[in-house]
Every structure is written in structure tokens, then in C-alpha cells.
Amino acid sequence: MQQLIEAFPKQLKEALEIGRKAQLKAPGGPYANVVVTGLGGSGIGGKLAAQLVHKEAKCPIEVYHNYYLPGYVNHKSLVIACSYSGNTEETIAAMEQALAKGARVCVVTSGGTMLETAKAKGLDHIVIPGGNPPRTMLAYSLVQQFFLLHHFGIIGDGFEGAINAAAQMLEHEKEDIKKAATALTEKLVGKRLVIYSEANTEAVCIRFRQQVNENSKELCWHHAIPEMNHNELVGWAGGDKNIAVVIFRHKADHERTQMRMEINKAVFEKYTPNVFEVWSQGDTAFARQLFLINLGDWVSLYWAEKKGVDPSEIAVINMLKGKLAEVK
């Protein structure tokens, strides 16, 4: 796990090469909407991509984590089906619906049933390296989302330079990121984690939560500001010192949201002394969010080491899949 997290910047660069070499059919279109379907470590790439290009995208991009697709999907839709293994039953079901509805379907996978289907039906597909836990291959699945969105005319090509620069920044700052992650982990061990950010960074919070769940074997939750101010803030009346708060922040956050965060911090500190801010680094939104992702990944690993648990072990998920496989 440590080697895979350390390889994140290198993976981003390799993913760019894979995307550049992808052989895709004529884009067609224009498309009325884009739906990304995927779950867990495979699905989070769609959320991150949609979040990063929301100001540029020429049509709505929605991410679904279920067996079904929204009713509006039709022949004017672009559906990106993302499953690292290629055997995720929910994603396969959603992909079959997309095909039945006449949508343009693209597949991002390392193999499995989805790759077989893509080849058999002549669907656009990008194959990424296999053989590792899906959550450790985020760089590959995330980057391909941008190549597909660009190919089909949803976004421009500025993402390539931004991702490459972000990868170089992460390599240069690697030791400082690890030191910051070590220090933060020391403050979180033994606490129940709550993660907050501005709405435009919510996908990063989700990624951090997922990593803490799977790698650190810890429950936690997240919310986004300003929405959180209209409900969860009241719930802090039930807060206590066993809760630790991490707030992901950017200097580019909306000025009113920054004011809200300062007020929120004062509320949290009435109930717990464990309130920690993590400020992003980087010159672009891509760099800032990838920085926070990488730092969060390191925290999840160090937390697992502090507890003496195996960050790679997911026996309970394998048990669930086994039980489901018994019922056809």
C-alpha cells in the first residue's frame, strides 16, 4: 500500500500516456448530458472529474453509484461506465441499461466482463493497469475521465498540462506532504473523524472518507459548506471531545464560505479541541485537489499503521460479494 500511494504522481503521468494513446471512434454528438456510473474506488474518479470541470463543461455531468441510471438517459446521452475489475455488478447493470436506451457508452476498466462486452459490441474503451486494489488506481481511472470528456467535446484540452504540472508538484513536495500527514495522523488516532470543505471540494472529502474507511478501518463522515450550515451545524450540540474535525481549505474558496468556516470553527471548538485545518497547495484547481487527495491517502495509511491493521484487507467486502454471488 505504501508503494502504491508513493507512486501516485508517477501514476498520473502514466495515465496521461494511456489516455493519449487511446483509440476512440468519431465523437458524434453533441451530447445533452453525461452520466458516469461506478462505485467505490472506481466511481470516485467521476465525482472528482465532474467537480473539476463544472465551470467548463458544455452539458451537465452526473455521477450515479447504483444499479440504475436516471430516466433522462437516451440516445443524446454519453455514459461512462467505470469499473476497475470490470466485474462490478451494479456498473454492469447500469451499462446494460445505457445500451438499451441507445446512449453512447464508453468503458474504463482493467478487464473482466465489461471489457469483454465493450470489445464484443464495439464500444469505446480505455484499458488501465490491473492487479491492484481499485482505490490505489485512482490516478488511472480519474485521468481517463478527462480524455473521454475532451474527445466527446464536453471540455477542452487544458487538463493535460494541469495534471502533468500537479504530478511534478506532488513529486517535489513528497517529503513535506508525508510529514504533514504524519503530524495530522497523530492528532486523529483514537478520535471519530469528521471532514468538511467547500462544496466544490466535496469529492476530495469523499475520497478521504473512503480511504479512512478501507485503509484505516475507521468510521467517519463528511459534509460540505455551505449546505452543512443549514442542518448539520445544529447537530453539533451533540458534539464532544472524542470527535476530530479536519477542514480542507483553499485560498480560492468563496469569500462568504471562508467567513462561514471561521464561524463554524468557533462552534466546533465549543465541543472539541480537535479542530484542524489543511490548506491546499498548487497553482491550479487540479493541483490543489490532487494535493489534498495525496495527503489524505498518506493519513489513511499512517492511521492503519498506528492501529496495527492491514490497510489492504477488505474481508467484509469480499464476504458481501460472495453472499451476493450465491443468488443469481
pLDDT tens column, 33-82: 999 999 998 899 999 999 999 999 999 999 999 999 999 999 999 999 99
Crossing angle of helices 89-100/112-121, nearest 10°?
Answer: 20
pLDDT tens column, 159-191: 999 999 999 999 999 999 999 999 999 999 999
Q: How confident is the model at residue 328 (pLDDT cuts 50, 70, 90)?
A: confident
Determine whether 25 is an active site residue. Answer: no
Q: Which three cell numbers stand for residue 74?
A: 437516451
C-alpha dihedral sign at 264, 212, 159, 117? negative
Least confident of 101-110, 210-219, 318-327: 318-327
Candidate list 150, 214, 222, 250, residue with the active-site label: 214
E strands present in the chain: 33-37, 61-64, 77-83, 104-109, 124-127, 192-198, 220-225, 243-249, 275-279
Crossing angle of helices 285-307/202-214, nearest 10°?
Answer: 20
Q: Coil, strand, or helix at residue 22?
A: coil
Determine whether 174 is an active site residue. Answer: no
Q: What is the CATH number of domain 173-307?
A: 3.40.50.10490
| Cα separation, 91 vs 68, whole angstroms | 8
pLDDT tens column, 268-278: 999 999 999 99
Backbone angles phi, psi at 36, to 5 degrees: -100, 130
| Cα separation, 172 vs 94, whole angstroms | 40
- What local confidence, expressed as pLDDT, does residue 163 receive? 97
pLDDT tens column, 225-261: 999 999 999 999 999 999 999 999 999 999 999 999 9
Average pLDDT score, the chain: 97
Candidate list 17, 55, 175, 230, residue with the active-site label: 230
- Domain(s) of CATH 3.40.50.10490: residues in the chain: 2-164, 173-307
Taking residue 99's Cβ as centre, other Cβ atoms within 10 Å add up to 16
pLDDT tens column, 272-301: 999 999 999 999 999 999 999 999 999 999
Q: Are 48 and 10 in contact (CB under 8 A)?
A: no
The percentage of residues in the chain with a pLDDT greater than 70, rounded to a whole number, is 100
Give this prediction's pTM: 0.96
Q: Which three cell numbers stand for residue 170?
A: 506532488
Determine whether 214 is an active site residue. Answer: yes
Q: Which three cell numbers stand for residue 21?
A: 494513446
Q: Give, as one character, the DSSP assignment of residue 237.
A: G
Please tell me the CATH superfamily of domain 2-164, with its number. Glucose-6-phosphate isomerase like protein; domain 1 (3.40.50.10490)
